[in-house]
Amino acid sequence: MKRYCEYTARIFHGIRLDNCHSTPIHVAEYMLDAARKVRPDLYVIAELFTNSDITDNVFVNRLGINSLIREAMSAPNSHEEGRLVYRYGGEPVGAFLLPPVRPMVPCIAHAIFLDLTHDNRSPAEVRTAWDMLPSTALVSMACCASGSTRGYDELVPHHIHVVDETRVYQAWTDAEPTRGECNESSGIVRCKRLLNKLHFELGANGYNQVFVDQVTEHVVTVTRHNPVTHQSVVLVAYTSFRPPAEARESHIRPLKVQGHLEEIIFEMQVKGKTSGEDDKSYPGFFNNDSEFINGLNSIIAEVKENIRPSESSLVRLTSPEDADETECQYTSEFAPGSVIAFRLSLLPRAQTASRISEVTTHNVELMDIVNSLSLSDLNRVLYRCDEEEKDEGHGGGTYAIPNYGSLPYCGLQGVISVLSEIRVHNDLGHPLCCNLRDGDWMPEYIVTRLKHEPATQRLAKWFEDIFNWLKEVPRYLIPAYFDSIVTSVYLTLINRAWSLMGEFISQGSDFAKALSLCSVQFCGIVKSAVMPPLSPNLSSPQPPSFTDGSGSTKQMSVTIAAGLPHFSVGYMRNWGRDTFIALPGNLLITGRYDEARWIILAFASTMRHGLIPNLLDGGSKARFNCRDSVWWWLQSIQRYVAIVPDGNRIFRDKVSRLFPSDDSPPQEPGRHDQLLEDVIQETLQRHFQGVKFRERNAGYQIDREMCDEGFNNEIGVSFVYGGTVHNCGTWMDKMGSSELAGIKGKPATPRDGSAVEIVGLCKSALRFLGQMYREDKFKYNSVERYDDTGNVTKWTYEFWEKKIQENFEKYYWIDENPIPDREPKPELINRRGIYKDSYDASQFWADYQLRCNFPVAVAVAPEMFTPKHAWIALKNAEKILLGPLGIKTLDPSDWAYNGDYDNSNDSADPKIARGYNYHQGPEWVWPVGWLLRAQLAIAPKVGGFEELGRTMGHVKSLLAPHLTHVLSDAWRSLPELTNTNGTVGDGSYRTGSEALQHDRHVKRSGLRHHPCTRHTTPRTYINTCRNTLTFVPHTPSQ
């Protein structure tokens, strides 16, 4: 058998594997390997009847099959035959212009499409002889290999059995044939020669786009299009699966094709030698020759080549020669068994317009325009959710596509997100493509919205000019060229964004670049959500300004949206906690130092009760109902000083205090200036002294869910403590809102006492400020407390930090083994080898719950932890809490756990009603970054550089799903949260800049997205990437 295969390979350039599926695949591999040693370029076709594309591909890949045999005779009608022509090769006409390097997508194995195989009965037996010409013409228009079996061209009306047949084929002659001979006039031989010639020409000259149109039950049109020259060949075949008398149509709609008709390549038709026999499968009678395999001689084929429309007997041209569209009507001579092929090209003006994609490549004018845009300008050009756009006051909003819905963004990213999904699959039937073909609404939308702002008007004009050219392109090509234009400009714009963000981003990893664009998503100028004005005495640079409708001048700095789309405008945009969890990743890692400075100083101006606001609302209406935002603010200042050149100068920046005292009304900018270091000292001093207050305007008007006691606040230090069971002052701030379930006004997670992450943030701030004092960059080093008798207690930052250090492990660590003298309530311990979530909480069980908060403390203050304990706890957190994309907010073994969040739940179940379990199990994304940063911080302490190397690789593997998500999600971001095991649920936000609390508050994160979540920004994630890449050689793919 091996020698047989080798001999065959020496003689033939290609072989057919018959019934390949019935041969053991390892045997076939062995034989083909032997054959390929003789002829390395052996062409292998195979017959497979697996009825599975997946199984077919197994054979194709293991055996190196070049083409699979596909049979036109398997089609029961012309509709199925046309479908096979489309299925077995080519792109759709008007396909997107794909780059040479692009994502791989599933495809079927390459086909060799045969009009007849040796296994098939003759079409004259199962269809009609009249159909043999139109069906082989359809096969020749397929964009794949094609083939036939001897006897088809001579119109042999019976099956030629490969075993039982003893006669010989007819010999070829150039003269008039006699018995046992055939020539070009025999059967449809001449027609087949023209069809094969056309098939070769189309393949060799790049006509690789295919469109099949089922005109009637029996008439099929196939278009082959060259996407470079935009020439097309259109073949119309009038099939005759039934006798012509039954297949004849009373009306066939005219052929309408965009483009100029250059020529009729050919028209051909089979007819009976005698009339009146079109009700039979073939005319006349067939005499089977006893010595030769002969065909029908009762059919003749009429052929015309390279003719003008006026010379055609099958069609009549009804459109002007210079029209954009060619229209032909079929004459009465166009009957079953007829085939006609047209060659068309675009008119000169359309050919010029079809080169518009070249204009967007290395375009000097475009580059000049793009290089004038700032990151806040790019926010408008690329992003802007529906609410942000409407907030501009120009009547806009996201673009709505009929039969699809609204795009996620008003800017180019909105349409790019859709195009990127349909482009790789050439889904030209997508509603977006239909919308682009039907009218110019989308291009006009892009231009109109960019005209509203002076900074983007030049780009609007450039788009307007290029889209005017686009109108000259045939409508079926509009989606492809629109995509080419928009995608090219989009890539130019995001490269501009990266170039403005410094080397870490512009030369960074794909993940860092993808996350950095979230900075552009969330950081924008929104006139309904301004920051409190900075001091007029602030050293430059100062924020830009604008003149409002009343003629007043206002400072206008970018702000960080807490979440998109719902937390993006007005009083709901700016939240202290979210802003400062998000700020380092959004503004510092991306090199946006001035904007980070302005935001830090603006929030400093609102200091009251020693706190930073939770809800900013312009500053004058701020709510001071969270305990942790001030510590995130101090963490951002620490990161600012560490990252920004001469960053410590911010301590001497002037802050215009909006509330110089707790009870003062809002003050004018510059009236009460303080240095930032004085404001920082005030917050530490106030915490050390203790803070006790009731929120202003307490009641329904500021919070319709909270009970009256919840408006009372008390904060102090040993460890930083505060809160009550009636309020929720950390990021886990879900307030019950269901009266039916009896939870209205009851926080789901009060986390009063000393929340672990706040203790870590406090320790980090004290360490940092103590170091700044020792370096003579910060003038304070201690705080004082007065008791009721006037006695003074003074702690230096160093002493305060030391007190935390000495006591933290004692009060927070739950050892793997019982330690009775450290476990006053062992019956509450549900999980060992963890750190408590809080200390001294009013709900006695809450301290012992395993949550995702302690990694924050590990990451910002790793020195506070015993490395061995921290490593055990972090690994337990990963094992128990980490999901595919997010991290569980509560131990699944906890009695309160429920991992599926649904804010619309209106049941009486107190665990889940109105989303009460928001932080009781759902897998939030932003804390994942802190878990990974904590692991990187502790790894070298427990295992040196060897363990650090392993951890870096592990961290990268854990981040891989996030990279996939941020590159593929329509919002180009990460979700706020997911439900159990990464499933998508209802009620959270599409993306969150940092953090979010569903009903009214916010969260934190490094980025997000989710149905009904807000977008989140690159805070923790970019920092994690940075930590990882610090220790490994950088390559673009990392």
CA distance 1035 to 1038: 6
CA gap 268, 340 in Å, rounded: 6
The Cα–Cα gap between 382 and 621 comes to 32
Q: For residues 1005-1024, b (16+ Cβ closer than 10 Å) or e, as one string?
A: bbbbbbebbbbbbbbbbbbb
The pairs formed by 656-663 with CB atoms below 8 angstroms and a separation of 24 or more are 656/532, 656/533, 656/534, 656/535, 656/536, 656/537, 656/538, 656/605, 657/605, 657/607, 658/532, 658/605, 658/606, 658/619, 658/620, 659/606, 659/607, 659/608, 662/608, 662/609, 662/693
What ranges make up the beta strands (E) of 688-777? 691-694, 712-717, 720-722, 754-755
Give the burial string for 732-749 (b: 16+ CB within 10 Å, else e): bbbbbbbeebebbbbbbb
Sign, CA torsion 352/356/358/359 = positive
Active centre residues (catalytic): 18, 21, 119
Q: Which two tokens stand for residue 331?
A: 């004459």
The DSSP code for 533 is P
- The Cα–Cα gap between 553 and 133 comes to 79
**How do beta strands 782-786 and 255-258 pair?**
unpaired
Are 661 and 674 in contact, with CB atoms under 8 Å apart?
Answer: no
Distance between first and last Cα of the chain:
50
Radius of gyration of the CA atoms of the chain, in A: 37
The two structure tokens encoding residue 39:
């002829």
Backbone angles phi and psi of 265, in degrees to 5:
-60, -45
Q: Where does 229-335 have alpha helices with state H?
A: 244-247
- Taking every pair of Cα atoms in the chain, the longest distance, rounded to a whole number of angstroms, is 132
The tokens for 195 are: 């069809």
Q: What is the Cα–Cα distance from 587 to 576, expressed in whole angstroms? A: 15
Task: Please report the sign of the dihedral spanned by the C-alpha atoms of residue 927, residue 929, residue 932, residue 938.
Answer: negative
Sign of the dihedral defined by the CA atoms of residues 826, 828, 833, 838, in that order: negative
Q: What is the DSSP letter of 473?
A: S
Burial (CB count <10 Å: 0-12, 13-18, 19+), residue 306 = exposed
Instruction: Enter the DSSP assignment of 585.
Output: I
| Exposure letters 782-817 (e unless 16+ CB within 10 A, then b) | bbebeeeeeeeeebebbebbebbbeebbebbbbeee
Q: How many residues does the chain have?
A: 1038
Judge contact between 104 and 221, C-beta under 8 A: no
Name the helix (H) or strand (E) containing 674: strand 673-675
Task: Tokens 């006039």: give the residue.
Answer: 185
DSSP string, 890-942: S-TTSTT-----BTT--SS-TTTGGGTTTTSS-EESHHHHHHHHHHHHHHHHH
Report d(CA 911, CA 893) in Å as an integer: 15
Distance CA 351, CA 146 (A): 31
Paired strand residues for 236: 221, 340
Token couple for 281: 């499968």
